[in-house]
């Protein structure tokens, strides 16, 4: 009988890692205050407080909260004046919303391939995708690793493109000492359940551009204008408001972010030092990254050394050992039916395709565990690598 848990052996770990989301009396007190204030909706002072604090923490002057990170991307594109027939460059490896926000405002997403070291948009590939119709680029700081802003910002300026940073994985991350979210014209964050800062759902746009802040706020508040009357609607907008109750939770979560980022970094350092050079390669961090957001701990399998075991088989065996690894995406975004059924041709991105065969991640909460618990991750990875031949036999 095999020692692999998937084949009936004893798992490396039987207890869960740290739980998520994290809360205590800070959240309870903040929620109570909003409850008792009687103002539960989007015009609660807790919302203004959160917008101001979050924007400041990300080196931005303005924050406009929204009900989620998908609609904040749409609001940002709207504020940038992007619409029908425009092209917007996006990565093929990200949550689908980065690309669908572009479709929803009537523009066309153009997929530029990723850099296999950082898993972020490759600036050289971005440049190749620029046409007369290109209006913007949306870098995603994937997994929390900031995209190469040194290269992307000059390319965007040279071609007169707007930069919308999708920071859904990168709360508190920084590149050369400057916070992500402050490089682009306007930037979007998500506070969905799985994100490093969460209220279950929620989002925010941050910017240093007063005009974009005003346009975003107007769009998110049914066309109202700052200082205007309640029933005065100068523009077409919608309601994207975050509630006071969500803001209460986020204000509390924000006090915890610096400590969480430190803990994630310590644990990531540990895993990187223990896994480096192995069959499951840990992330390579660009030296210009001053703070990594560490939303996802990305690993890449050297499948050549796994006797033909696939990424999905490997991850399944790892999960059976008690390590909640996640196979990354089955294929790049443009191979979803939503895109293939449009009749349009979506050129393949070779690196993205390859990563979808080789990569997996450890999710958010694992990096908040005690470092000693992470020994189990290393042990389980080594165990599955060593037993890969058995795994293959089992699969046939």
Ligand X SMILES: *Cc1c(COP(=O)(O)O)cnc(C)c1O
List contacts with ligand X (CB under 6 A). 68-70, 94-95, 97-98, 140, 166, 168-169, 190, 192, 203
Compute the least distance from the CB of residue 391 to ligand X, in Å: 31
Between 68 and 208, CB nearer to ligand X = 68
Compute the least distance from the CB of residue 353 to ligand X, in Å: 19
Between 62 and 95, CB nearer to ligand X = 95
Specify whether 231 is catalytic: yes
| Annotated active-site residue in 166, 185, 286, 376 | 166
What are the backbone dihedrals phi and psi of residue 11, each rounded to the nearest 5 degrees, phi first?
-70, 150
Q: What DSSP string describes 371-391?
A: GGGGHHHHHHHHHHHHTHHHH
Q: Which residues contact 386 (CB under 8 A, 6 or more apart)?
A: none
Specify whether 276 is catalytic: no
* Contact indicator for 102, 88 with CB cutoff of 8 Å: yes
CA dihedral 211, 46, 173, 374 (to 10 degrees): -160
| Annotated active-site residue in 241, 292, 311, 383 | 241
Q: Which residues contact 304 (CB under 8 A, 6 or more apart)?
A: none
Compute the least distance from the CB of residue 14 to ligand X, in Å: 30
| Annotated active-site residue in 58, 135, 145, 169 | 169
Between 6 and 205, CB nearer to ligand X = 205
Between 6 and 170, CB nearer to ligand X = 170
Alpha helices in the chain (DSSP H): 25-37, 45-57, 69-79, 97-104, 123-129, 149-158, 210-220, 244-275, 311-320, 337-340, 350-358, 375-386, 388-395
| Annotated active-site residue in 95, 189, 219, 294 | 95
Compute the least distance from the CB of residue 35 to ligand X, in Å: 24
Between 69 and 237, CB nearer to ligand X = 69
Euclidean distance between CA atoms 371 and 377, whole angstroms: 10
Between 161 and 199, CB nearer to ligand X = 199
Q: Kindly report the CA angle at 36 between 32 and 37, in degrees rounded to 5?
A: 115
| Annotated active-site residue in 224, 264, 295, 383 | 224
Compute the least distance from the CB of residue 349 to ligand X, in Å: 16
What are the backbone dihedrals phi and psi of residue 164, each rounded to the nearest 5 degrees, phi first?
-115, 110
Q: How far is CA 207 from the centre of its chain?
A: 18
Specify whether 224 is catalytic: yes
CB neighbour burial string for 25-36, b if at least 16 within 10 angstroms, e if fewer: ebbeebbeebee
Compute the least distance from the CB of residue 89 to ligand X, in Å: 15
* Contact indicator for 165, 208 with CB cutoff of 8 Å: no
Alpha helices in 301-348 (DSSP H): 311-320, 337-340
Quote the DSSP letter at residue 18.
S
Q: Which residues contact 372 (CB under 8 A, 6 or more apart)?
A: none
| 335 CB burial (10 A radius; 0-12, 13-18, 19+) | middle
Between 326 and 392, CB nearer to ligand X = 326
* Contact indicator for 174, 261 with CB cutoff of 8 Å: no
Between 203 and 237, CB nearer to ligand X = 203
Compute the least distance from the CB of residue 143 to ligand X, in Å: 10
Specify whether 241 is catalytic: yes
Specify whether 300 is catalytic: no
Compute the least distance from the CB of residue 15 to ligand X, in Å: 28
Specify whether 166 is catalytic: yes
Catalytic residues: 95, 166, 169, 192, 195, 224, 231, 241
């Amino acid at each position: 009988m095999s020692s692999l848990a998937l084949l009936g052996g004893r798992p490396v770990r039987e207890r869960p890692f740290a739980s998520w989301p994290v809360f205590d009396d800070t959240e309870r007190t903040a929620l109570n205050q909003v409850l008792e204030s009687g103002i539960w909706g989007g015009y609660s002072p807790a919302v203004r407080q959160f917008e101001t604090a979050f924007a400041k923490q990300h080196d931005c002057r303005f924050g406009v909260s929204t009900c989620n990170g998908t609609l904040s991307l749409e609001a940002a594109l709207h504020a940038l004046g992007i619409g029908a027939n425009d092209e917007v460059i996006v990565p093929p490896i990200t949550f689908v919303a980065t690309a669908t926000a572009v479709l929803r405002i009537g523009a066309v997403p153009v997929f530029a391939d990723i850099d296999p070291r950082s898993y972020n948009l490759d600036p050289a590939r971005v440049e190749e995708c620029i046409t007369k119709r290109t209006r913007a680029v949306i870098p995603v700081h994937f997994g929390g690793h900031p995209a190469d802003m040194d290269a992307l910002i000059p390319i965007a300026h040279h071609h007169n493109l707007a930069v919308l940073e999708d920071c859904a994985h990168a709360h508190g991350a920084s590149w050369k000492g400057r916070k992500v979210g402050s490089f682009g014209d306007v930037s979007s964050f998500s506070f969905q359940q799985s994100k490093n800062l969460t209220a279950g759902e929620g989002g925010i746009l941050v910017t240093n551009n007063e005009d974009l802040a005003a346009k975003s706020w107007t769009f998110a508040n049914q066309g109202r204008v700052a200082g205007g009357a309640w029933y005065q609607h100068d523009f077409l907008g919608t309601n994207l408001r975050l509630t006071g109750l969500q803001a209460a939770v986020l204000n509390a979560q924000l006090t915890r972010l610096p400590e969480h980022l430190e803990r994630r970094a310590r644990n990531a350092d540990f895993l990187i030092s223990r896994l480096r050079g192995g069959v499951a390669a840990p992330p390579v961090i660009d030296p210009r990254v001053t703070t990594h957001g560490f939303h996802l701990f990305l690993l890449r399998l050297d499948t050549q050394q796994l006797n033909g075991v696939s990424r999905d088989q490997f991850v399944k065996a790892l999960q059976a050992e008690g390590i909640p690894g996640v196979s990354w995406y089955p294929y790049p975004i443009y191979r979803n039916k939503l895109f293939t059924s449009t009749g349009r041709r979506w050129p393949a991105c070779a690196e993205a395709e390859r990563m979808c065969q080789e990569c997996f991640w450890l999710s958010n909460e694992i990096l908040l565990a005690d470092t000693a618990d992470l020994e189990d991750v290393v042990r389980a990875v080594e165990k599955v690598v060593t037993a890969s031949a058995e795994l293959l036999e089992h699969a046939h």
